[in-house]
Chains A and B, each alone.
Chain A
Amino acid sequence: MKTRWMMIGLGVGLASDSAFAGARVGGYARVMARPDLQGGTGRLGYWNLYGRLLNEGPYAALDFDYDVLEPDGDAPWTTIHMRVEGGSIEGADMGNGGLDQFRMSQLYIEAGNVILPNVAWQVGTLERTMGDLGLYDMRPATVFFNTVGLSGTLRSGPFELTVGGGDSGYSLRRDRYHPVWTGGGAMRLGLGRHVQIGLGGEWSMEFGTPGHRYAAYDTPNVDYEDWIRGEVIEQFRSDRPIEADQFPDPIAGDAQSGHAFAYLGFGGLGPLKWNSTTVRFERLHPEAPSHEEYNGESEDIHVTSLTDERTVLFVGNEAHLELIPQRLDVAWGALYGQHVDADNTVAPSDHNRWYASTVLRMQVATTRTLAVLLESSIAQEVSTQGNLFREHQDSIFANTDGVPDTRGLENGDTDTRITWQGKGGLVFNPMGPGIFSRPSLRLLYGAQHSNENNAFSNHFVTTLDQYNEFGTVEQHWHHVLALEAEAWF
Chain B
Amino acid sequence: MVLIALLFACTAPKIAPESVIAVQTVLVTPAASETAAVSGLIEEALAADNVQSTSVPTDAAWTALGTSGHRSAWLVQQSGGSLTLLIEAEARRRATLGGRFQWEVEATVVVAKEGLPELSQTKIMRVTLPHAHQDQTDALTSAAPRIGQVAATLVRQFSGNDG
Using CB atoms and an 8 Å cutoff, list the residues of chain A in contact with chain B: 24, 26-28, 61, 63, 65, 71, 81, 83, 127-132, 134, 137, 139, 158, 188, 190, 196, 198, 265, 274, 276, 320, 367-370, 428-432, 436, 438, 441, 443, 483, 485, 488-489
Does the CB pair B132–A65 fall under 8 Å?
no
Does the CB pair A134–B130 fall under 8 Å?
yes
Closest A-chain residue to B104, C-beta based? A24
Q: Does B57 contact A (CB under 8 A)?
A: no
Does the CB pair A188–B133 fall under 8 Å?
yes
Instruction: Give the A-B pair count, Cβ closer than 8 A.
Output: 91
**A438 to B101, alpha carbons, bound, how many Å?**
13
Please encode chain B, from 5 to 30, with 1 for each CB lying within 8 Å of some chain A CB and 0 for all others: 01101110110000000000000000
Q: Does B115 contact A (CB under 8 A)?
A: no
Does the CB pair B11–A428 fall under 8 Å?
yes
Using CB atoms and an 8 Å cutoff, list the residues of chain B in contact with chain A: 3, 6-7, 9-11, 13-14, 92, 94-102, 104, 124, 126, 128, 130-133, 145-146
Of listed A276, A428, A432, residue having the most chain B CB within 10 A: A428
Does the CB pair A370–B11 fall under 8 Å?
yes
A430 and B9 in contact (CB under 8 A), knowing A28-B97, A63-B102? Answer: yes
Of listed A131, A139, A274, residue having the most chain B CB within 10 A: A131
**A26 to B100, alpha carbons, bound, how many Å?**
12
Q: Which 4 A-B pairs have the closest CB atoms?
A: A132-B99, A428-B10, A488-B128, A369-B10
Instruction: Offer 22 A-B interface pairs, CB within 8 angstroms, sorted by A.
Output: A24-B104, A26-B94, A63-B102, A71-B92, A83-B97, A130-B132, A131-B131, A131-B132, A132-B99, A196-B132, A196-B133, A198-B132, A265-B133, A274-B131, A428-B6, A429-B10, A430-B10, A441-B6, A441-B10, A488-B97, A488-B98, A488-B128
Does the CB pair B94–A24 fall under 8 Å?
yes
A276 and B6 in contact (CB under 8 A), knowing A26-B102, A63-B95, A367-B13? Answer: no
Closest A-chain residue to B6, C-beta based? A441
Does the CB pair B10–A27 fall under 8 Å?
no
**A63 to B97, alpha carbons, bound, how many Å?**
8
Quote the shortest CB–CB distance from A448 to chain B (angstroms).
24
Does the CB pair B95–A65 fall under 8 Å?
yes
A128: B residues at CB distance < 8 A:
96
**A263 to B145, alpha carbons, bound, how many Å?**
32
**A276 to B131, alpha carbons, bound, how many Å?**
9
Contact of A137 among B7, B99, B132 (CB under 8 A): B99
Does the CB pair B99–A26 fall under 8 Å?
no
Given A28-B97, A131-B101, A432-B145, 12 extra CB contacts under 8 A: A26-B94, A129-B96, A130-B132, A131-B130, A132-B98, A134-B99, A134-B130, A196-B133, A274-B131, A369-B11, A370-B11, A488-B97
